[in-house]
Amino acid sequence: MNQQDSAQSKLTGNAVAGIAATLVYMFSRLMLTPVILNYLNLTEFGLWSLCFVILSYAGMGGFGVNSTYIRFTARYLAEGRKEEISRLLTTGVLYMLVFCVLFVIGLVYLMPFLLERFQVEPALRETASTLLLGTALVFSLELVLGGFRYIVNGMHEYAREKTVTTIAGLIEIGAIVGFLMLGAGVTGLLYAYAIRLVLETIGCWLIARAMLPSLRVSFSLFSREHLRHFFGFGGKVQVLGVLGIFLTAVDRMFITAISGLAAGGMFEIGRKLPSTAGGISSSAFGPFLSTAAHLEGVWSNERSKSVKERAVTYLHIILTTAAIALIPIAFHPQARPYLFAGSQLTALAAAALAVLLLLLLNRSFSSESRLESTEIRSLYLDGIRFTNILNSVLFVFLIAMAHPLIDVWVGTEYPGAADVMILLSTAYAVQLTTGPITMLFRGIDRNGRELEYMLVQTLLMVLWIPAGTMVWGLNGAAGAIAASSVTSTLFILWRSNRTLGIGTGEFVAHTVLPALLALPPALLIFGISNLWPQTGRVALLIQILLCGTLFVLSSAALFWKFVLNEQEKTKVMEMLPIKKRPSC
């Protein structure tokens, strides 16, 4: 079996391993959150969440680096140039060391501003400073030495890497419970976090060295050529990472700044289940990057756009998005002071401008080259199909059972969290459709498609989330996120389907319609939970477990009967832990 066939054959197994690891993480974290809330108040819980909002900006520096490790390790492995992997690793380690030193120094100087801006009470400021600096230092260790983890991914051993992170995550949970019981308070979460990252780093280093004994880090291996990879391919992905991490934090940033830490804590409770469920789907996306890096695609009439042409395209997309974003803001009387003294006439003008700009965009995109690759086309359709089916099971269940889940999970003191959860589940279910798309285009070094999508989503969220929060509170913020996710996802699907020559009918039939089969079982359990509501956590938990079992089994039966083809059924059977009888 050649390298390309080997990479493709491992894709399904790696994706399933990622999902399995995330399932373990999900259930362990769900069980852990009520324990944490038993020891911490809502303000302290919001403070811990705020730490990771700030910390996410450090992750911006490593985003392009991580993708560079994966892409070029996969390329060097395919080309038989394993000695180059050590040069790549050394260059990345030194690059990230410089970045992390600058980040920590900058955080120290910005600390008073951050504490004031996010309304941290004076009594909590010493604790907040400790948490912010502590998480920054620990995360810097992961950024500097995380190359071992992504080298393992680039060698298509995603499953082994996930085994390490799962074990380290379970140890972290035990450490959290232990520190909280010992009275460490919110700082106990920091200590446990440090333990997890140290264990992950050591475990991935051992795996990488076992797979590639010649792998080492040495100043003598620093390479300007590989540094150009980090600033070239990695730089383009870096921009995407900055936007991506900004988008993961912008909701909590606006909510905390507008409504305070307690509102941020409430939003975090409502976000936790959808976010964790989203991690299950996104855990399957990683192998798409390294697999796409192995595949070859031919572009019809390929012509590199000039910098000016690209700038014009991005400006056109930004103007179109801005026109779309202003329509609801101008229509709603309470949202108008947020930007300008709008009117219904202004909203209609914005709508007309948006239609005109969309028509011009469609005309511009129709003249661009297409990717002629049956392998990538198949990966694209099957990846989205698989993602949508998985999302329909995860998020439709969360929507149908939102209020019982919140009540049994953290108690009845947080009723607003269930409504936030419903809206965010809708947002994440749609947005995660883009996962296979962005990884495939990143793997073939066509990051422009992802950048266009990120520009659309960023602008919509920056305009809609503050307006929604001020008008409707937490539900307004969650609704703005859902609207932004749906709009930006429709854009990248329109763009990508055109690039791959996929018609709307083919796309909907292959990827969208199959996922709708989860709706009838969801309506059934929603009716059961509302017709026979339960009181008390034990009775409610039993009802959720019974409804969940009914939902999963019913959905699986419908998918097996009406959706999966024979090849897909064979793969499912191969993954099930069923011992085959020896043939006579």
pLDDT band, residue 540 (cuts 50/70/90): very high
pLDDT at 2: 47
450 and 438 Cβ atoms separated by less than 8 Å: yes
Q: Is residue 234 part of a domain?
A: yes
Type of residue at 475: N
Query: Is the model's pTM score more than 0.85?
Result: no
**Length, in residues, of the chain:** 584
Residues forming a β-bridge with 298:
372
Q: Is residue 67 part of a domain?
A: yes
Is 356's pLDDT higher than 80? Answer: yes
Report which of residues 339 and 392 the model is more confident about: 392
> Alpha helix (H) ranges present in 411-446?
416-431, 434-443
Report which of residues 47 and 167 the model is more confident about: 167
pLDDT band, residue 577 (cuts 50/70/90): low
Q: How far apart are CA 9 and CA 11, in angstroms?
A: 6
pLDDT at 234: 57
**Six-digit token pair at 293?**
């890096």
**Six-digit token pair at 233?**
């391919």
> Alpha helix (H) ranges present in 511-536?
519-531
Name the CA dihedral angle for 386, 390, 395, 398, rounded to a multiple of 10 degrees.
Answer: 170
Q: How far apart are CA 158 and CA 478, in angstroms?
A: 33
Look-up: residue for tokens 């299950």? 280
> Alpha helix (H) ranges present in 501-518?
504-507
pLDDT at 303: 64
**pLDDT exceeding 90 applies to what percent of the chain?**
24
Q: Is residue 575 part of a domain?
A: no
Is 338's pLDDT higher than 50? Answer: no
Is 552's pLDDT higher than 80? Answer: yes
List, as one string, the DSSP characters of 3-26.
HHHHHHHHHHHHHHHHHHHHHHHH
Q: How far apart are CA 62 and CA 381, in angstroms?
A: 29
Give the containing element (helix H, strand E) for 282: helix 261-282
Domain count, the chain: 1
Q: How far apart are CA 382 and CA 330, in angstroms?
A: 40
Mean pLDDT computed over 303-331: 83
pLDDT band, residue 240 (cuts 50/70/90): low
Q: If we measure between CA atoms, which residue out of 353, 352, 357, 348 comes closest to residue 317?
A: 357
Per-residue pLDDT of 406-455, as tens digits, reads: 999 888 888 789 999 999 999 999 999 998 888 888 777 777 788 889 88
CA 139 → CA 202, 369, 398, 401, 568, distances in Å? Answer: 14, 41, 31, 35, 40
List, as one string, the DSSP characters of 317-339.
HHHHHHHHHHHHHHHSTTTHHHH
Provide the 3-class DSSP secondary structure of residue 143: helix
Q: How far apart are CA 455 and CA 457, in angstroms?
A: 6
Diameter of the chain measured on Cα atoms: 81
Q: How far apart are CA 576 and CA 569, in angstroms?
A: 11
pLDDT band, residue 3 (cuts 50/70/90): very low
Q: How far apart are CA 478 and CA 484, in angstroms?
A: 10
- Of 5-19, 27-41, 69-83, 291-305, the poorest mean pLDDT is in 5-19
Q: How far apart are CA 204 and CA 159, in angstroms?
A: 12
Q: Is residue 69 part of a domain?
A: yes
Q: How far apart are CA 135 and CA 97, in angstroms?
A: 16
pLDDT at 294: 65
Report which of residues 238 and 548 the model is more confident about: 548
> What is the domain range of residue 6?
1-238
Provide the 3-class DSSP secondary structure of residue 372: strand
Q: Is residue 528 part of a domain?
A: no
Report which DSSP code applies to 221.
G
> Alpha helix (H) ranges present in 40-157?
42-79, 83-117, 125-145, 147-154
Q: Is residue 566 part of a domain?
A: no
135 and 52 Cβ atoms separated by less than 8 Å: yes
pLDDT at 46: 75
245 and 61 Cβ atoms separated by less than 8 Å: no
Q: If we measure between CA atoms, which residue out of 295, 438, 301 comes closest to residue 376?
A: 295
Q: What integer best gives the mean pLDDT of the chain? A: 82
**Six-digit token pair at 469?**
């929060």
Q: If we measure between CA atoms, which residue out of 317, 295, 235, 252 comes closest to residue 487?
A: 317
Is 149's pLDDT higher than 60? Answer: yes
- Of 5-9, 76-80, 156-160, 469-473, the poorest mean pLDDT is in 5-9
Type of residue at 570: T
Report which of residues 294 and 401 the model is more confident about: 401
135 and 55 Cβ atoms separated by less than 8 Å: yes
Q: Is residue 462 part of a domain?
A: no
pLDDT at 333: 60
Per-residue pLDDT of 484-513, as tens digits, reads: 999 999 999 999 998 888 999 999 999 999
Q: Name residues whose C-beta falls within 8 Å of residue 265's C-beta, 6 or more positions apart in sequence.
A: 42, 43, 45, 46, 49
Q: Is residue 65 part of a domain?
A: yes
